[in-house]
Chain A
Amino acid sequence: MPLRFEARAEASARMRYGSPLVAVLLTVAGGLVLFILLGRNPLHGFRVFFYDPVKDLYGVSELLLKATPLMLIATGLAVGFRANVWNIGAEGQFLMGAVAATGVALMFHDSTSMLVLPAMLVAGAIGGAAWAAIPAFLKTRCNTSEILVSLMLVYVAQFVVSWVVFGPWKDPQGFNFPQTVMFADSALLPVLIPGTRLTVAFLIAIAALVAGHFFMTRSYAGFQMQVTGQAEAAANYAGFSGPRTVWIGLVAGGALAGVAGMSEVAGPMGQLTDHASSGYGFAAIIVAFVGRLSALGIFFASLLMALLYMGGEQAQQHLNLPPAIGQVFQGMLLFFLLGADVFVNYRLRRSRAAP
């Protein structure tokens, strides 16, 4: 019996919120199949991937540590995505935030002032926001595509990082490794739970989630962003400023990505290296969509994505699988989500026999 897609009269609310769960379940199922194809015991693989990383307090703290930058970036991206402002370059904004924060840390390397960390935080936000301001400026002035410009600036940002760590900021005692000196204690974020690496950045991320939620649901500016995203002609008619929407959307994403970059160099890394990011800026795009651009959704989606990161590392160590395994899981998650999303607006019907 042939099947066909039929448009639903109304978008299904159940599928709208159910589809991320369906996507997670399918990803897990796909993972099992993958392990079998790779000749590993699927149950063992499953345990290594999804359970071992979080079996103790330290594991959980690592999970929250990894989820922190994802949460920060996804929160900022969601502001723009709601208004159809497509910032794909959070990875670059993350790096530029890290560079700016590192600049402050190195400048005040000998200071013990309490103000070094706040200054780094602000510098990180400004660094990320400034990088995101480039596509915003070009979009509002020359109507360029913010998707392309922000994405291409990621590669420029990577070269900037390479330049500073190979050049002016290279640690003189670092055996020529591309990295800066370790930051002074005054430039490191305080640890939240003793014996773990989880820093207060996690609290900043939670605060950002709450603030983002408040902005989108209660503020007039957030309302204008949503109107722009849902019906641009209505936004024009109501007199909401298009350029302002673009600026808010990009700068919010850039600033929070920059803060995430700062939280990495001032947190678990303690220095800037040539490999400052682990693709958080791109993974956060998936997080934002899996989380349905909502605060609560982004919270859980970033935990899930962090688990995939850690599972990937565990699978490398204990299952002898290549590092790409983590990305395969990320890709499956996005793939199944997009697939499941089709059912929000369509349903599968058996076509009737031809008349």
Chain B
Amino acid sequence: MEDAVAAARAGVPRLDLRRIRKVYPTVIANDGIDLAVAPGEIHAVLGENGAGKSTLMKIIYGVTQRTGGEMYWEGEPVEPENPAHARSLGIGMVFQHFALFETLTVAENVALALPGHPGLRELARRIETMSARYGLPVDPRRLVHALSVGERQRVEIIRCLLQHPKLLIMDEPTSVLTPQAVAKLFETLRRIAAEGCSILYISHKLDEIQELCHAATVLRAGRVTGTFTPSRETPQSMARMMIGKDLPAYERGAALAGGEPRLRLLGLSQASDDPFGTNLEDLRLSVCAGEVVGIAGVSGNGQRELLRMISGERMIEDAAQVEICGIPAGRLAPGRRRRLGMCFVPEERLGRGAVPQMSLIENALLTAARTMRLVRRGLIDFAAARRFAAACVARFGVKASGPGVAAQSLSGGNLQKFIMGREIMQEPKLLVVAQPTWGVDVGAAAFIRQSIIDLRSRGCAVVVISEELDELFEVCDRIAVIAAGRLSPAKPASSTDVEEIGVWMSGMWPDAAAGAAEMRNAA
């Protein structure tokens, strides 16, 4: 009792977790976790995939119930039974996996999450105000299925902010934002925190945590392994706390000179088949054997359309506008393009990059059947497929009990590792990757990036489309920017920097001026 009184005097924490335990049939996800968040505090929770961060957040948000321990909300013991209950307490959460209805508009999706029955027109205005204020551009009238991953995340953030929460849980919110937008979001978050709202900030990005957060808690294997003040640490010391060892440095030789072009975009122009999509205008790019070319840009600027046209999921009218390994490929089906030596990692993992209900063995078959000779005379060689899947699991450190488990039972980061491994191990001539390390922890991301560099050093041409500039600068030999359906020239990574690319991401590269002026006139 005396403790409680003292706590009240010192300022009761907004959220106080004591010895939280969560036991699943096969694993202990949380094993006695203590965590206290003061009002107005931005508190980082960091840890590798499977460290128990997501489980802890789900307990706080009422998605799942704890097995043991106590939870106090503003000094009162609480049991969030479900997310609606948590929201009524004043807890908001932006998930890593979005919970949006694809067939509804942005405004309708937001309306569903709000108590009462707000009018859609009034709501659309509030969304627009909110999105302008926090630098999260999104059109409330658009259908969600037409939105890119980044845009969907903006909807989630806005949806939470509209409920004026007292505690905001953000699960890796910056993975799809430009540096400028991240800076803007941080301003927003600081403003929200200054108004008294607490923020639980889950991230792998150590520099962000250092820049933004007041306090941090490190989880490893379901336990707290450290609490610290980010401003007093270095990214290296934080990484060591998180993965228990030092991060490896990247080894890269110089790009091979004079490799033959493996992917060429020759004035690719195509209207999007989605009225809210981005029309591509005169894209020109050449990617040669032995180099990694990055395409930076805020999601929703044509990446989705471009990827589909490179992969063959969307045909283009003029076959000559996309050339793969010297062959005009614009009208070839995806299977034919794979046979030319292309491998491809899409931005959606479950449902596109992998079949959720199928095992990793069957998911290995999905794209590697021909290249890895897993099919003989039309029959599946299951033993070979199992060997390939097991090799992929082992080499890329996929946390799974074996290759026989269903893809949907893997966490997002682990599935990403598997898909990356599956495509890289086919030793393609051309690899096209969207968001190679999205949701993957620091250690595994470093391994994936090194694998991309190694692949390129063996003579593969690699295209990386990513919204993480740091990642692009780590792996790429040249970097181009896509903005509003136009592609900048690719600049050697050594002769540019984050600031310049950041400016380009808003569409302002040197010879874009003419095009931009044209667009202004048209608008």
Contact = CB atoms under 8 A, between A and B. Distances in A.
A220 B369 contact: yes
Contacts of A233: 348, 351-352
B380 A220 contact: yes
Interface of A: 218-221, 223, 226-227, 230-231, 233-234, 236-241, 352, 355
Given A220-B380, A227-B355, A231-B352, A241 B362 contact: no
Interface of B: 81, 85, 311-313, 333-338, 344, 346, 348, 351-358, 362, 365-367, 369, 375, 378-380
A223 B334 contact: no
Contacts of B366: 227, 234, 238
Given A230-B356, A236-B334, A219 B378 contact: yes
A20 B498 CA distance: 60
A226 to B, nearest CB: 8
Instruction: List 9 A-B pairs, minimum CB-CB distance, nearest first.
Output: A239-B335, A239-B334, A233-B352, A220-B375, A231-B355, A238-B366, A234-B355, A231-B351, A237-B352
Given A237-B344, A239-B334, 20 more contacts: A218-B379, A218-B380, A219-B378, A219-B379, A220-B375, A220-B378, A227-B358, A230-B357, A230-B358, A231-B351, A234-B352, A236-B334, A236-B352, A237-B367, A238-B334, A238-B367, A239-B312, A239-B333, A239-B336, A239-B337
Contacts of B313: 236-237
B351 A238 contact: no
A231 B349 CA distance: 12
20 contacts: A218-B379, A219-B378, A220-B369, A220-B378, A223-B365, A227-B366, A230-B356, A231-B351, A233-B351, A234-B353, A234-B366, A236-B313, A236-B352, A237-B334, A237-B352, A238-B366, A239-B333, A240-B335, A352-B81, A355-B85
Given A231-B351, A237-B353, A220 B379 contact: yes
A219 B365 CA distance: 12
Name the prevailing secondary structure of the A interface residues: helix
A227 B359 CA distance: 12
A237 B346 contact: yes
A2 to B, nearest CB: 16
A231 B354 CA distance: 8
A141 to B, nearest CB: 16
A227 B358 CA distance: 8
Given A220-B379, A223-B365, A223-B380, A234 B351 contact: yes
Contacts of B375: 220
Contacts of B357: 230
A239 B371 CA distance: 13
Contacts of A226: 358
Contact of B354 (A218, A220, A234): A234
A145 to B, nearest CB: 19
Contacts of B334: 236-239
A210 to B, nearest CB: 15
Nearest to A221: B378
B362 to A, nearest CB: 7
Contacts of B352: 231, 233-234, 236-237
Contacts of A220: 365, 369, 375, 378-380
Nearest to B336: A239
Contacts of B365: 220, 223
Nearest to A214: B379
Nearest to B357: A230
Interface core residue of A218, A238, A241 (most chain B CB under 10 Å)? A238
A234 B358 CA distance: 11
A238 B356 contact: no
User: Which residue among B336, B353, B379 has the maximum number of chain A CB atoms within 10 Å of its CB?
Assistant: B379
Contacts of B81: 352
A240 B81 CA distance: 44
